[in-house]
Amino acid sequence: MERETFLALLRQHRAIAVIRAPEVALGVRLAEAAAAGGIRLIEITWNSAHPAQLVEQLSQQLPHCHIGIGTALSIADVKDAVGAGAQFCFCPHTDSALIDLAHSLQTPIVPGALTPNEIVTAWQAGATAVKIFPIGAMGGASYIRSLQGPLAQIPLIPTGGVTVANAGEMVQAGAIAVGLSTSLFPPAAVENEEGSTVTQLATQLVNQLRAIAPHP
């Protein structure tokens, strides 16, 4: 996927569902429930059970969605993920070797950073966008807003503390998109396999973001 295509998708959809699944079947059900609520960007963390299989399966079963991976820690992770069909990669850290590899594979990559120095380092290394993690520890939307002064040219994606309730605030503060995990997939709903709860939360999230940041 081209860089500009990915950035356009982020601006259009604004929300990324982050799934960490202990088994493939559960991961599929969670992704399907989120997609039923309008989510179109789905990240499978690479520390899920059999993540390559899950990416392959979701790419086939949800052709209207864009499936990527998160928690990529090594060159092998990125190679295996792209080989399985991942359309984008998120990392919890910044590693220029992973960024260079993703470029060679024509795959958007979003490394993690937190401080202004880390964010600029990731951007200068060639990041497609920069993941701000954990945003909850930095004050949430107010931190994103503060970064806009000096770093407005860098697309920021806060995660780790984003909820269905505050996602809109993050986008209003300047985030290009947000990543949600526990808030979109509540542990009780996951444990009880209440897919309808996930779908309802996804619908609420999508409608909220659409109202705040409509795509032209």
Burial (CB < 10 A; 0-12, 13-18, 19+), residue 177, is buried
Count of Cβ atoms closer than 10 Å to residue 97 Cβ: 11
Q: Which CATH code is given to the segment(s) 3-209?
A: 3.20.20.70
The confidence score (pLDDT) of residue 212 equals 84
pLDDT score of 213 more than 80: no
Measure the CA–CA gap between 83 and 137, rounded to whole angstroms: 34
Would you kindly state where each structural domain of the chain is located, as residue ranges? Answer: 3-209
The confidence score (pLDDT) of residue 214 equals 57
Percent residues over pLDDT 70 in the chain: 98
pLDDT score of 184 more than 70: yes
The confidence score (pLDDT) of residue 7 equals 98
Query: Contact at 8 Å (CB) between 152 and 133?
Result: no
The confidence score (pLDDT) of residue 216 equals 44
Measure the CA–CA gap between 88 and 104, rounded to whole angstroms: 13
In this predicted model, what pLDDT tens digit does every residue of 97-154 receive, in sequence order?
Answer: 999 999 999 999 999 999 999 999 999 999 999 999 999 999 999 999 999 999 999 9
pTM of the full predicted structure? 0.96
